[in-house]
Amino acid sequence: MTIRYVASSRLPTPWAVFTMHGFAEEQTGKEHVVLTLGAVGDGEPVLGRIHSECLTGDALFSLRCDCGFQLEAALQAIAEEGRGALLYVRQEGRGIGLLNKIRAYNLQDQGADTVEANERLGFAADMRDYSICIPMLEHLNIKSLRLMTNNPRKVKAMQGFGINIAERVPLQVGRNVHNAHYLATKAGKLGHMFEVPLQHHQD
């Protein structure tokens, strides 16, 4: 897949003034961004996150997932570090799209977990393609990451594409009564790694 760099600009946020880099998939027209802070192309491992778009969690404050909490925590961690990169990739609903995610939510309201809901709609549990991240990292000359994630599949995928994962940095935030089952499914069916036992979530 061809990913084309488009433009960069300043992006002031509550945590820091980032540089925002825009990229486009030529085949699909999908647009992605990378937020960077400090010098990231010097060969040293970069504190980073690959964050899949979640309109409901990132912008609409949904408590059904931990996505918005992870986005804010990652940006704050990069700001505190003074250096890092966040890739914001447009793969809503683990790759099934926004409207299909709403359909999946409806099935979850009827008792399905997130994996079962995706599969009932005819999708795999996780449809995301992390290969789209590689041209963006190459453009920024990032070869090594201290990756903020709980997802071992993400670590393995990036290593398979030749990115050195110097460290996996846990990102366990935003647990609440509404997403307890969602997080348990992540751990039980998708192998996500949680350092704090899930049953101790705070309501």
For residue range 190-202, what is the model confidence (pLDDT) as tens digits? 667 666 554 443 3
Binding-site entries? 49-54, 65, 67, 70, 92-94, 114, 149, 154
Model confidence over 75-96: pLDDT tens digits? 999 999 999 999 999 999 888 9
Provide the whole-model pTM: 0.90
* Residues 123, 25: Cα–Cα separation, whole Å: 22
What does the CA dihedral 109, 99, 148, 142 come to, rounded to 10 degrees? 170
Query: Are 49 and 86 spatial neighbours (Cβ–Cβ below 8 Å)?
Result: yes
Q: What is the pLDDT of residue 189?
A: 64
Report residue 85: phi and psi, to 5°: -150, 135
Helices then strands, each counted (H, E), the chain: 7, 7
Q: Which residues contact 187 (CB under 8 A, 6 or more apart)?
A: 193, 194, 198
Percent residues over pLDDT 70 in the chain: 93
Q: What is the pLDDT of residue 199?
A: 46
Binding-site entries for GTP? 49-53, 70, 92-94, 114, 149, 154
Q: Give catalytic residue positions.
A: 126, 128
Q: What is the pLDDT of residue 148?
A: 97
Model confidence over 113-126: pLDDT tens digits? 888 999 999 998 88
Binding-site entries for Zn(2+)? 54, 65, 67
Pick the CATH number of 1-90+127-188 from 3.40.50.880, 3.40.50.300, 3.40.50.10990, 3.40.50.720: 3.40.50.10990
pLDDT (tens, 9 = 90+) of the chain, 203 residues, equals 689 999 999 999 999 999 999 999 998 889 999 999 999 988 899 999 999 999 999 999 999 999 999 999 999 999 999 999 999 999 998 889 999 999 999 999 999 988 899 999 999 888 899 999 999 999 999 999 999 999 988 999 999 999 999 999 999 898 899 988 878 887 776 667 666 554 443 33
Q: Where are the domains of the chain?
A: 1-90+127-188
Q: What is the pLDDT of residue 174?
A: 85
